[in-house]
Structure 1
Amino acid sequence: MAMDKIRLGVAPTKRAFLSMEEAKRQKDKFMAVIRSILPDKVEIIDIDDLCENGILFQTDKIPAVVEKFRAANIDALFTPHCDFGEEQCAAGVAAQMKVPTLLWGARDERPNTDVGRGRDTQCGMFACSKVMRRFGVQYSYIWNCETESEDFRNGFDAFIRVVSVIKTVRTLRVAKFGARPVPFMSVMANEAELATKFGITTVPISPTAIAKRADQILADNGEELQNYYNDILARIDTSATQPEQVQRIAAVTLATKQLMLENRCSVGAMECWSATPIIGVPICMTLGELADAGLPISCETDLNGAVTLAILRAITLGDEAEFLADLTIRHPENDNAELLWHCGPFPYSLKDPDSKARLVGGQERWALKKGDITVTRFDDIDGEYYLFGGEGKAVDGPETTGTYVWFEADNWKRWEEKLMFGPYIHHVGGAYGKYKKVLREAARYLGLKFDDASEQGTYSL
């Protein structure tokens, strides 16, 4: 399922009495750069039609700029400084828009001289940030760096991903398929609090509805089912699963997807193994397949796990699937590695090319690919919400059943202590790439306590 573009309002600012020619030169440089970053993910709304050279420096232009951004329903605001800037203009727009706001200005080439005055950009941003704080604006900042630098490109990219997380969480609808398995008290979550604190809506859907829809899909035996069944056979060795089971898994996957889309849900939480008698087959493969379809679903009706998956999908801007894993065993030889495993719900797109894809008793079996991995967990205790986050990499390890990856951290003992003493459970989410700084910044906007895996928490004995 494709993600909506991030709509970014851009309102450059300059000091009224400083050079317009130089301000325009700066504006043209950074606008060219930001238009080249994630162009298929970001829609830029400028103010070229409202202000001279598209730069805001007159207070009487604030209402028109705000009106345009509101009409465009922007998700975030960028107020780049062409020089010192006009803090009353920048903060005036940001205070009315009340969306995530990004501050930055290019590094000045030289100080003032007797011959000419510089831009004083950094000085102006210090002033502007104070006014932003006074106006109650929550903002992000890219440090004072050159327009063409990797720091600027990486910072802008990260901000877009932060906005994607915030937009996703605040409009999230979670399909709750069934109740939690009886023994799993650990996955209990407060649906009312998720709604009031974050705007997250939980939509209950019975596993019986999946079974009934799957029955109809099998009875119709339409082209979509036949094509999907053949696709499964082409990708995965299903010899250890009965053909009628594979067909039902295909039907269940299509049924679950239909129910999610009909209920406008972008993630789900599935009762899974305890609902197998109702659904008729293990649901594991369905979870992996729908993650690849942009509709990730957590196991064991883990609602906070579903939010975790939504956050990860938003961070990757929908470009790569995410997975929810059990924390299981330590690596037998590598003290800093842990087995991230589940009985068979990981997405096929993340499979290691050297690992054979098998379906055994209706459950997937393969190892995930090598690469950098960000691990996170959204969770709560006593009304406080946390976001655990850290980075590591996939490494070699013994083969096992189900779907899995051996994950190496910088210091697993510290990670384990964090996870044991924090309000977390045995489930964590994973996505390929390095996104800890995005998680940290998104947590700040959402009012979550960011729990950095790289920082020591409570010590074990």
Structure 2
Amino acid sequence: MYTQKLILGVVPVKRSFLSMEEAVRQKNKFMSVIRRVKPELVEIVDVDDIVEQGILYEADKVPAVVDKLKKAGIDALFLPFCDFGEEQAAAAVAAAFRVPVLVWGARDERPNTFEARGRDTQCGMFAATKVMRRYGVTYSYIFNCETESPRFASGYENFLRTAAVVKAVKGLRIAKIGDRPVPFMSVMANEADLLSRFGMVCVPISPSAVVGRMKTILEENSMVFQSYCENISQRMDCAQTKEEDLRKAAAVKMAVQLLMEENNCSVGAFECWSAFPALADICPCLVLGEMADEGLPLACETDVNGAVTMAILRACSLYEDVEFLADLTIRHPENDNAELLWHCGPFPYSLKKEESKAALVEGQESFELKAGQLTVCRFDELGGEYYLFAGEASTTDGPETTGTYVWMETDNWQRWEEKLMFGPYIHHLGVCYGSYLPVLREAARYLGLHFDNAHEQGIHSL
């Protein structure tokens, strides 16, 4: 399963003349919390060996701190305030990087008295963030709350997910397997602009190269290949697919995976129905669903922006869940706020509803997806401006249909439809299970995207 680790620099800050003992107490509390959050996916780089007690307050220590974090190759930076902090030191560290930055400090327990000085944490963060703005630093912030608060834990985790999205997008390598189908002008993408704006590279892979690998895999007929074909047959009813076609589809999947890995691509845009039926005499829909379950999702119909969308959603889940690209097709016949998320057969098998019987019909999967909370989004472009549409919904019951599908219920479908019709979007939406709207909103700020919230009214229809 494809994954990416996140390297997080953590630089606690304090005011020079305030209590070190109290600052250390605060540091120990929040470090205990963050070290428990996704430790298998997040590598924390501290500055314990650079500054006293691992807490920065001396401006002359900033270069050493920055040097350590740069050598570590941090993907994100957390500046927790143990008290009022030192704005010049905190802002200087943040300004040395172009990565997502998180600012937070624990809520003070009491005000100052004649007998004792408090921490004035919130006060110091107001000052420091002004300086960060002057430096041009983009930063995130968790509302001033107690360390033990669920709000801190959830805010910190949302920041990790945001940083993962930013890392995933910048430098993304997209396997472009074939050109778009002739009728599909809607999936056009500006590859040169994606490169110059985000560092994304589209790597051309010819469908004929895939077919060549497919033929080699079929000829070699290895034990791994035979075992994979048997695995598909055990998971799905393949009575309506010829054995030869099943073997071809399995071989195409293995060929695509090999070529993507050789080209260091983690997502792809796939010329499916317009190329492979002629080249290999099969419909390759199975390949897309299987590749998603490998953590290497493919967008059908060579939808490059759709591939970027799935890369964004994959990072939102910190590579723990699976995403898919769905067609918006028809409204629910009875529920005015529901819509059918469908495609001819490319959804991940791992998302299948338990009681739904999976079938492979002439190379196309057929099953219903499981129930749950959904996040949907679409990365797209028009006139050099980039947009991210996003919303949250839930699955709902609806009539059975062909292919792979799930019915989605929104809070207000008319508003969603108006957004999608008037925005620079198409009929393809990326979908994953879970609630990631705050993450997508925050990631859009760092990436310079217009965030288009499905839950806010845009242009009205007539």
Same fold (TM over 0.5): yes
Cα displacement string for residues 179-219 of structure 1 (whole angstroms, at most 9, x for unaligned residues): 11011111111111111111110011111111110000000
Q: What corresponds to 1:61 in structure 2? A: 61
Give yes or no for the alignment of 1:189 onto 2:194.
Answer: no
Aligned length: 461
Distance 2:266 2:99 in 1: 22
Cα displacement string for residues 68-115 of structure 1 (whole angstroms, at most 9, x for unaligned residues): 001100001000000000011111111112211100000000011111
2:4–2:319 CA contact under 8 A, matched in 1? no
Quote the RMSD (CA, aligned, Å).
0.7
2:103–2:142 CA contact under 8 A, matched in 1? yes
3-state secondary structure, aligned to 2:96:
helix
What is the TM-score of this pair, normalised by structure 2? 0.99
1:210–1:279 CA contact under 8 A, matched in 2? no
Distance 1:238 1:325 in 2: 23
Aligned partner letter, 1:57: Y
Q: What corresponds to 1:33 in structure 2? A: 33
Q: What corresponds to 1:244 in structure 2? A: 244
Give yes or no for the alignment of 1:108 onto 2:108.
Answer: yes
Q: What corresponds to 1:319 in structure 2? A: 320
Question: Which runs of no fewer than 5 residues in structure 1 stay unpaired?
Answer: none
Q: Which moved more, 1:329-338 or 1:278-287?
A: 278-287
Cα displacement string for residues 247-305 of structure 1 (whole angstroms, at most 9, x for unaligned residues): 11111100000010001000000111001211331111000000000100001000110
Cα displacement string for residues 392-443 of structure 1 (whole angstroms, at most 9, x for unaligned residues): 0011110000000100000000000000000000100000000011000000
Aligned partner letter, 2:333: P
Distance 1:365 1:254 in 2: 21
Cα displacement string for residues 39-86 of structure 1 (whole angstroms, at most 9, x for unaligned residues): 111000001111111000011111110110011000010000000000
Identity %: 64
Aligned partner letter, 2:376: V
What is the TM-score of this pair, normalised by structure 1? 0.99
Residue 234 of structure 1: how far off its partner (Å): 1.4
Q: What corresponds to 1:352 in structure 2? A: 353
Distance 2:234 2:14 in 1: 59
Q: What corresponds to 2:17 in structure 1? A: 17
1:315–1:438 CA contact under 8 A, matched in 2? yes
Residue 3 of structure 1: how far off its partner (Å): 1.5
Distance 1:35 1:202 in 2: 36
Q: What corresponds to 2:404 in structure 1? A: 403
Distance 2:255 2:2 in 1: 19
1:23-422 matched pairs, under 5 angstroms: 23-275=23-275, 276-422=277-423
Distance 1:327 1:97 in 2: 40
Distance 1:437 1:274 in 2: 37
Aligned partner letter, 1:352: K
3-state secondary structure, aligned to 1:33:
helix
2:171–2:199 CA contact under 8 A, matched in 1? yes
Cα displacement string for residues 307-334 of structure 1 (whole angstroms, at most 9, x for unaligned residues): 0011011111111110000000000111
Distance 1:78 1:429 in 2: 30
Distance 2:190 2:96 in 1: 32
1:323–1:347 CA contact under 8 A, matched in 2? yes
Cα displacement string for residues 109-141 of structure 1 (whole angstroms, at most 9, x for unaligned residues): 001111101100000000010011011111100
2:102–2:140 CA contact under 8 A, matched in 1? yes
3-state secondary structure, aligned to 2:89:
helix
Aligned partner letter, 1:354: E
Distance 1:403 1:7 in 2: 37
1:207–1:279 CA contact under 8 A, matched in 2? no
Distance 2:19 2:281 in 1: 72
Aligned partner letter, 2:201: T
Give yes or no for the alignment of 1:449 onto 2:450.
Answer: yes
3-state secondary structure, aligned to 1:2:
coil
Distance 1:385 1:69 in 2: 31
1:208–1:279 CA contact under 8 A, matched in 2? no
Distance 2:26 2:370 in 1: 43
Distance 1:271 1:307 in 2: 16
3-state secondary structure, aligned to 1:44:
strand
3-state secondary structure, aligned to 1:36:
coil
Aligned partner letter, 1:350: L
Regions of 4+ moved over 3 Å: none
2:2–2:296 CA contact under 8 A, matched in 1? no
Distance 1:204 1:403 in 2: 28
Distance 1:25 1:279 in 2: 65
